[in-house]
Structure 1
Amino acid sequence: MDLQSLKKQEHQKRVKKGFMWALFCAILWGLWYLPGTVVWVLNPFDEMYGEIAATSGDGVSLIVTAVLITAFNALTVMLALMVWNGTLGKFGEMKRTIKEFHPCSKWFFLASIFGGPMAILGSFIAIGFVGGAFAAVAALMYPVVGSILAQKWYGEKISRRAFAGIAFIILGGLTIFGGGVLSEIGSGNVAWIGYLGGLMAAAGWGIEGAIAGKGLDIAEPDVGLTLRFLGENIIWWIIIVPILAIVGFPMVKFAALAFEPLTILVMVFAGITFGFCYVTWYKSFPLIGVGRGQGIGNLYGLFAVIFIFLFFGDVPSWTILVGGAFCLIGSSVMFSEETGELETLRGD
């Protein structure tokens, strides 16, 4: 076998592995919406919502409760990732990466801003206001943001096929949001905040993927991801949660009450599914690119709707189903791209 054939074979293995990681991401991400939905009805979060709603209203109560849920989600994900990196023996690499702030780790701390307080918080807000199925499908537009930013910032190539997939995803997003958000705003119902949360999730995860792709030029995915969640935990537990407590919300009280066995079990399940969903997501980026990794990971919407229906019996509205179908068609178009298009991920 000549050198060119070996090179082509190695490239095909790399692409296949990248698609495999992205598919695992989709399955684990879809599973995450189960504990993400259940946690809202568990104490102390259920009790917290009622107490704050009595004085500040439903809208404020849902957002503040979502902040504490998201903070605990970040904490359990961080614990899962520390166990993962410890098993792989990568603490030394983590220390080295943190020291290389300007060329490397700054990208992961920046990604944590868009991934945590924007994307994950937005998703929990969407779950609380509208429901898990909507939250899962609403964020399906994130590959559009990620692909375009990766192309603009560091020249990641977008083929005609990828552009066609993006067009389908945009059409799906318009279908998902169009009718629902207009009717909620027109009725004066606070549920429109849930639609805003869905947009936050879509934009946040797209921006995070593009930023993380830059950091992954230098860092290992497992280590970079852990630094990204370290940054998110700092944002929640050192900045946002204390500020809300100072303002007068009972953050400390309900954070201390969160260590009930069932609540811990659900949050650990959320941490494991979401943590390893992120591991596979970040591993796909260097292999097939940010846009394609996000496009295949987008299949999480299909898995989430299936899991939510099987476990809770929730059937989404027709706009969510049709819009989600368009998004999945777009992801499939990106998935079916010829491997030759991926010979180089960046433009000249």
Structure 2
Amino acid sequence: MVDLQALRQAEHGRRIRFGYMWALFCAVLWGLWYIPGTVVWDLNPFDTMYADIAATSGDSMALVVTAILITAINAVTVVIALLVWNGVLGNYGEMVRTAKAFKPCSRWFLFASLFGGPVAILGSYIAMGFGGGAFAAVAALLYPVVGAGLANAWHGEKISKRAAMGIIVIIAGSVTIFGGGMITELQSGSIGWMGYLGGLMAATGWGIEGAIADKGLDVSSADVGLHLRFIAELGIWVIVALPLLYLAGYNVFSYAIQAFEPLTMLMFAFAGVTFGFCYVSWYKSFPLIGVGRGQGIANLYGMFAVISTILFFGDVPQWTVLVGGALCIVGSFIMFSEESLELETLRA
């Protein structure tokens, strides 16, 4: 006779293992994304673009405008990478059906794009422009706290005692990261505070995006939903943000055309592949292990990003950033190191 309880537990164990696997894939690819994300700031035309805008509008405006164009081109390459991915999977028909189902499904990916692109990814590029990839990665490590809290409030997703303990440790790490450095930059009046603001934007935006996207993933596949989310983000940049900057006197379209040279496009292709598939893995983990735990495991990207940027660029962050990042990663381990049976029911 078939033991239904044993089969149910075995299926539950497989679900948890796959959820952890997808979240870990996300962490590795996400960490690698900071390499091209850092390099493009020193490539043509973005180095000259920053200098030109800074000469007339100041460093803060130059940082933001340049980051917007970089983020827009990043969205283009991710959309192309996902176009190939969904084509191989034969998902184009499903994409059309999902896009048409606006109220129950695609609206959630539209809302996710609003917080993921103009808030999180833009904030991360601003942080990279200020302090490099290692700083930008560590500065956003607070985001699982935001995601877990909102998923609990909106979806009734459970927060166990162990997960709550991990959240407290992550908050302590974030206070260590931001507490000293940001106050110092504000007091000195330097542009440095923009980097910390970018980190806060990334942490807040990615946390909110995960909680919102989880609603759409109840009725849509991650591959299709994510592609629609990045198409919506690309629309925000191309239809709204870049034309507004052009009307404000910043010739962003001229700089965008200049970006079409081999090395710059190679870096964006690298960014599109790593970021596109890290996002696929991120979205796939949410229905399996929940937003809080999926984001907690993916938070290990900070470790991979710091290691890769130190190896490639020799950039070693300040000790407060390293200590705070270590605390955030320890908190992430605490969040997802609970028994799988505790995850049997993700929502209350």
Letter in 2 for 1:225: L
* Whole-angstrom distance in 2 between the partners of 1:94 and 1:132: 33
* Whole-angstrom distance in 2 between the partners of 1:50 and 1:334: 43
1:170-209 counterparts in 2 under 5 A? Answer: 170-209=171-210
* Whole-angstrom distance in 2 between the partners of 1:309 and 1:223: 35
Residue matched to 2:211: 210
Q: SS state of the match for residue 131, structure 1? A: helix
Residue matched to 1:228: 229
Letter in 1 for 2:69: L
Letter in 1 for 2:234: N
Residue matched to 2:310: 309
Deviation digits for residues 251-294 of structure 1, max 9, x if unmatched?
A: 11101111011000000000000000000000000000000000
Q: Unaligned regions of 5+ residues in structure 1, if any?
A: none
Given that 1:48 and 1:254 are in contact with CA atoms closer than 8 Å, whether structure 2 keeps it comes out as yes
Q: SS state of the match for residue 142, structure 2? A: helix
Quote how far apart the aligned CAs of 1:131 are: 2.1
Q: SS state of the match for residue 140, structure 1? A: coil
Deviation digits for residues 96-134 of structure 1, max 9, x if unmatched?
A: 000100000000000000000000000000111122111
Deviation digits for residues 208-232 of structure 1, max 9, x if unmatched?
A: 0000011101000000000110110
Between 300-309 and 48-57, the greater mean CA deviation after superposition: 48-57
1:39-188 counterparts in 2 under 5 A? Answer: 39-188=40-189
Letter in 1 for 2:115: F
* Whole-angstrom distance in 1 between the partners of 2:185 and 2:52: 25
Quote how far apart the aligned CAs of 1:146 are: 0.2
Given that 2:132 and 2:315 are in contact with CA atoms closer than 8 Å, whether structure 1 keeps it comes out as no
Letter in 2 for 1:323: G
Letter in 2 for 1:200: M
Q: SS state of the match for residue 346, structure 2? A: coil
Calculate the TM-score normalised by the size of structure 2: 0.99
* Whole-angstrom distance in 2 between the partners of 1:341 and 1:237: 45
Letter in 2 for 1:121: L
Q: Which portions of structure 1, spanning 4 or more consecutive aligned residues, are displaced by more than 4 angstroms?
A: none
Quote how far apart the aligned CAs of 1:154 are: 1.0
Given that 1:138 and 1:198 are in contact with CA atoms closer than 8 Å, whether structure 2 keeps it comes out as yes
Calculate the TM-score normalised by the size of structure 1: 0.99
Q: Unaligned regions of 5+ residues in structure 2, if any?
A: none
* Whole-angstrom distance in 2 between the partners of 1:20 and 1:34: 23
Residue matched to 1:323: 324
Given that 1:130 and 1:195 are in contact with CA atoms closer than 8 Å, whether structure 2 keeps it comes out as no
Residue matched to 1:246: 247
Letter in 2 for 1:246: L
Quote how far apart the aligned CAs of 1:57 are: 1.0
* Whole-angstrom distance in 2 between the partners of 1:30 and 1:193: 22
Deviation digits for residues 174-230 of structure 1, max 9, x if unmatched?
A: 000000000000001011011001000000000000000111010000000001101
